[in-house]
């Protein structure tokens, strides 16, 4: 499987294990379920798998609150199950990266249990502790992403501890060299086990201002506020987060991670970067060969419509990028409303056409590509009733938003089976929408025009397009619903055009073009003498003659 920089032109398939496949009838997906579906994943034509956390955890934030980095939570199986799954993936030439949560742990982690005992124990400085102000209030104005203050008072220790997310997720003090060494040991445990790399969760949260200075306020344009998760600004949006995350000192820790990873052949890391300047930060975190290989930002995870936004995000990254910087792009993941439901068409036929177009568009951008489970089926955001909601962030935002449960509902494998083939349990951890069952794998496999079969055809075709895999990108037009760019490598040049809307768009044929067909998009364009007609949600690929 050795190939230098294999990750650059790779397509990763993200698996959210709780919702992928359940093999023991408890209503929750597990590692054996992933192993069972490796042949399916390989059939898509992807190159690698990213698996969201499966570590031992109290599941306050569904595994992103790690209680033990070296143990598999019993709901997912055990280390032997992981090893067998990894071996199966490698037998299909699929690489596997896993989530590594380094900025915080669970409050049930042994490190935190020791740290909170008193101010003199060996791990007393392993987390961010601070005294109250004279009036008993928190040390500064930092806020939690999930709502409220980022500080929780601990009566036993008589101090506040910081938590960027839930209060059950205390932030590690990564300025402490002992903490850095401990985390590097946890990373190496999985490298020795054979994983191909890591997705570094919220990695720009890893270091905080040592003086604990207040974040300055950020002016909000209330009338034009736009966020993909909720309608109105949360208090977190009202600060410039220059002191509680994205500290420049954090890059020194990134170099240590890279040095460790480089000890093992053909490994990679992708950084999850969120923040006010997430694109610029993504370029910065990948700027040299001793930092992170590629970075995954939120620029397109919030995208809903309009060509210009995509153009601007890609061009902005490469405006900052130097010789090493490399982006990673995604439209969907486990934290954001599914892209199929953002600015969705009114009828199911157009929803399917748009889903195909979006896969073609995403997989044609310059960078490493991430597809989220169910994206290949065109799954839409599920409407989970309040009484069945699990996500603490969704419960906090309700009713303005329903949080993240809607993108985390179980995969639909077989419409004829109980729970669409996901589980034999009477009840699954999140409900399965009726509309998803109509998009189940068994149904789509029988339909040559399905989103699933399109994905397979298109990804197979993509592997042969050297311009897409290796070429530069240049945008020609990004106006309303029309996006046109070229991918060029040496003398090979490919035109890529996308109709993001439900009306036909005409393109002048100024150059001699060899229009490419036969990879699932045969009904996307009409080629006339002087014009090319892009049909609703149509896609055009053409070689310059």
Instruction: Tell me the catalytic residues.
Output: 201, 272
The position carrying tokens 């690698």 is 48
Rounded to a whole number of angstroms, the distance between the first and last alpha carbons of the chain is 35
The position carrying tokens 């004279």 is 134
The candidate with the shortest Cα–Cα distance to 295, out of 359, 202, 233, is 202
The position carrying tokens 């949360």 is 234
Name 404's Cβ contacts closer than 8 Å, sequence gap at least 6.
Answer: 334, 335, 336, 391, 393, 394
Rounded CA separation 157/232 (Å) = 37
The candidate with the shortest Cα–Cα distance to 174, out of 98, 245, 267, is 245
User: What b/e sequence results for 512-523 when a residue is b if at least 16 CB atoms lie within 10 Å of its CB, and e otherwise?
Assistant: ebeeeeebbbee
Q: Where are the alpha helices (DSSP H) in 248-376?
A: 250-261, 278-285, 307-320, 348-362
Strand residue runs (E) in 274-429: 294-297, 327-329, 368-372
Q: Where are the alpha helices (DSSP H) in 1-100?
A: 31-36, 38-44, 79-91
- Given a contact cutoff of 8 angstroms between Cβ atoms, the answer to whether 14 and 50 are in contact is yes
> What is the separation of C-alpha 154 from the centre of its chain, rounded to a whole number of angstroms?
33
Rounded CA separation 393/61 (Å) = 9
């Amino acid at each position: 499987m050795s190939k230098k920089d294999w990750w650059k032109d790779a397509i990763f398939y993200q698996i959210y294990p709780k919702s992928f496949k359940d093999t023991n009838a408890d209503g929750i997906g597990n590692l054996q379920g992933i192993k069972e579906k490796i042949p399916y994943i390989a059939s898509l034509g992807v190159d690698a798998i990213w698996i969201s956390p499966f570590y031992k955890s109290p599941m306050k934030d569904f595994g992103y609150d790690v209680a033990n980095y070296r143990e598999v939570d019993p709901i997912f199986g055990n280390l032997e199950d992981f090893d067998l799954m990894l071996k199966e993936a490698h037998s299909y030439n699929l690489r596997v990266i896993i989530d590594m949560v380094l900025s915080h742990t669970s409050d049930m982690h042994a490190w935190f249990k020791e740290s909170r005992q008193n101010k003199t124990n060996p791990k007393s400085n392993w987390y961010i502790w601070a005294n109250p102000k004279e009036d008993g209030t928190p040390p500064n104005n930092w806020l939690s992403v999930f709502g409220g203050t980022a500080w929780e008072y601990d009566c036993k220790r008589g101090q506040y501890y910081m938590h960027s997310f839930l209060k059950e997720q205390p932030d590690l003090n990564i300025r402490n060299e002992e903490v850095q060494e401990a985390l590097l040991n946890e990373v190496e445990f999985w490298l020795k086990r054979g994983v191909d790399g890591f997705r570094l969760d919220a990695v720009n949260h890893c270091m905080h201002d040592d003086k604990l200075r207040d974040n300055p306020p950020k002016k909000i344009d209330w009338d034009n506020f736009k966020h993909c998760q909720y309608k109105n600004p949360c208090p977190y949006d009202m600060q410039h987060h220059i002191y509680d995350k994205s500290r420049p000192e954090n890059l020194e820790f990134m170099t240590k991670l890279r040095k460790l990873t480089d000890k093992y052949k053909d490994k990679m890391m992708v950084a999850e970067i969120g923040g006010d300047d997430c694109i610029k930060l993504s370029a910065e975190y990948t700027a040299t060969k001793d930092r992170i290989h590629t970075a995954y930002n939120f620029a397109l995870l919030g995208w809903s419509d309009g060509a210009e936004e995509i153009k601007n995000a890609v061009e902005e990254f490469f405006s900052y990028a130097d010789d090493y910087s490399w982006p990673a792009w995604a439209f969907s993941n486990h934290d954001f409303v599914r892209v199929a439901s953002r600015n969705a068409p009114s009828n199911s036929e157009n929803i399917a056409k748009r889903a195909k177009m979006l896969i073609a568009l995403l997989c044609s951008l310059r960078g490493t590509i991430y597809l989220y489970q169910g994206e290949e089926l065109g799954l839409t955001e599920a409407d989970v009733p309040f009484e069945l909601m699990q996500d603490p962030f969704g419960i906090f935002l309700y009713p303005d938003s329903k949080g993240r449960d809607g993108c985390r509902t179980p995969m639909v494998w077989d419409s004829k089976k109980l729970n669409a083939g996901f589980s034999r349990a009477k009840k699954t951890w999140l409900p399965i929408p009726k509309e998803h069952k109509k998009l189940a794998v068994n149904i789509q496999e029988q339909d040559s025009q399905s989103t699933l079969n399109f994905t397979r055809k298109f990804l197979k075709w993509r592997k042969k397009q050297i311009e897409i895999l290796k070429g530069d990108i240049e945008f020609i037009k990004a106006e309303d619903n029309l996006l046109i760019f070229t991918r060029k490598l040496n003398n090979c040049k490919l035109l890529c055009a996308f109709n993001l809307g439900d009306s036909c768009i005409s393109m002048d044929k100024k150059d001699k073009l060899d229009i490419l067909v036969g990879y699932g998009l045969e009904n996307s364009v009409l080629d006339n003498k002087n014009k090319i007609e892009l049909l609703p949600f149509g896609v055009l690929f053409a070689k310059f003659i």
